[in-house]
Amino acid sequence: MNHTLCNQIDWVGAVDWNIRDFHSYQTDRGATYNAYLVRDEKTALIDTVKAPFAGELLKNIASLTDLSRVDYVVCNHAELDHAGALPEVMRAVPQAILVCDKKCAATLAEYCDTSDWKMQIVASGDRLRLGRRTLQFVETPMAHWPESMATYVPEEKLLFSMDIFGQHYATSQRFDDEVDFATVMDEAKTYYANIVVPYGQAVLKTLERLAGVDIGMIAPSHGLIWRTHAGKIVAAYRDWATQHVKPKVLVLYDTMWESTAAMAHAILEGATRPGVSALLMHVRRTNLTRIATEALDAAAIAFGSATLNRGMMPMAAAALNYLEGLRPQGKAAVAFGSYGWGVGGAEAIQESLRRLEWEIVSEPLRARWRPTPEVLAQCRRVGELLAERAVAISQANGT
């Protein structure tokens, strides 16, 4: 197993093969918590791992150097999948200086007792000379926490990017060119869609800050290291952060007695045409992680639910609540759904679409008990309209 990024810089993190729920993000391929050891005249550990993997991290470090030789521990991010092991690590390397920005120091102090730690507070532009190599710090606030920071090694053109550019993908390989490229990009997209999307403006500022930086390799805090395709993941982040969408219509729905399902299929039929990708998903049979990922680059979304208890069905409400939190932008949309003796489902969806500030192309489509042929024809027409808007929106943003 090759863990070496370049001369005397190695991955020393942990692979979490069996994690399937990362605070509600469904991680079908597991995860890794990446930490890196830079050995020079001085030795620096870049980030740690989730607390249960502290022993594994220390063992990996000890296989390369004596723990007493660790001079610095850099904390780029205080979230506990990277800083959870810090207390145990700092106990194991008491001579080491913890290097982080001011906000990170404050956050760490809320999580654990840092009073005995030697600390060095850094800010953007600060440099730490290790010998032949230098660590240069770039604060990246709100990408995706307030204290987020990246660390750059100019002599190796190597960026430790923290969470951004990461993927939840447990593998024995460490580099992007050792695995199927479509798979690693799909996992990177899933990661962006479920973790990073609300912070697009912060990502764009980070990309601006990095524009003048000569980057040969990107080593994120999760998943594969971008050794061969660094330019491609940076370009993909620029696309995602600018909400570039594709000519794609996503039909999401939940149904009680198949009336809303019939409407969903009629909308899909109307949206199906050359040059447009039309996709249908039952929200109770599709996990939220996948729904958010498909929504990321869809230019148009039809969202439907039967009325239950004067509102949406529960999983439809969960999916919309999740999307409202993530706030993907730049979409055309329509609400639809069946009802019986009282309305409420499609109306609640319409309110949610308004809060999302998506372009609503029609009044909600409604069917009482069973959709009539006229209602199904209306659904097909709205499907056609969504496909037209999807093409127009994607062309307008250059996709």
**Catalytic residue positions, numbered:** 23, 77, 79, 81, 144, 163, 191, 222
Closest CA to 386 of 255, 262, 270, 225: 270
CB 203 within 8 A of CB 237: yes
Of residues 81 and 388, the one with the C-beta less far from ligand FEO: 81
Site for ligand FEO in 131-170 (CB under 6 A): 144-145, 163
Q: Is 189 in the site for ligand FEO (CB under 6 A)?
A: no
Of residues 207 and 271, the one with the C-beta less far from ligand FEO: 207
Strands lying side by side in the sheet with 70-74: 4-6, 9-11, 36-39, 43-46, 70-74, 97-100, 118-121
Of residues 144 and 189, the one with the C-beta less far from ligand FEO: 144
40, 56, 81, 388: residue in contact with ligand FEO (rule CB under 6 A): 81
Q: Which segments of 123-258 does DSSP mark as H helices, in order?
A: 181-191, 200-210, 230-241
d(CA 368, CA 371) in angstroms, rounded, equals 7
Q: What is the phi-psi region of residue 204: left when phi exceeds 0, alpha when psi lies from -120 to 50, beta otherwise?
A: alpha
- C-alpha dihedral sign at 19, 31, 327, 288: negative
| Longest pairwise C-alpha distance within the chain | 77
Least Cβ distance, residue 22 to ligand FEO (angstroms): 8
Of residues 76 and 243, the one with the C-beta less far from ligand FEO: 76
79, 139, 254, 384: residue in contact with ligand FEO (rule CB under 6 A): 79
Q: Is 82 in the site for ligand FEO (CB under 6 A)?
A: yes
At a CB cut-off of 8 Å and minimum separation 6, what does 191 contact?
166, 167, 168, 222, 223
How many other CB atoms are found less than 10 A from the CB of residue 211?
Answer: 9
Task: Choose the binding region for ligand FEO from 4-12, 79-87, 105-113, 268-276 (rule: CB under 6 A).
Answer: 79-87
Of residues 191 and 303, the one with the C-beta less far from ligand FEO: 191
Site for ligand FEO in 256-315 (CB under 6 A): none
Find where tokens 């190796």 sit.
156
77, 244, 265, 366: residue in contact with ligand FEO (rule CB under 6 A): 77
Residues touching ligand FEO: how many (CB under 6 A)?
9
Least Cβ distance, residue 195 to ligand FEO (angstroms): 7
Task: Choose the binding region for ligand FEO from 8-16, 75-83, 170-178, 287-295 (rule: CB under 6 A).
Answer: 75-83
Q: How many helices (H) and strands (E) does the chain have?
A: 12, 22
Residues lying near ligand FEO in the complex (CB under 6 A) are found at: 77, 79, 81-82, 144-145, 163, 221-222
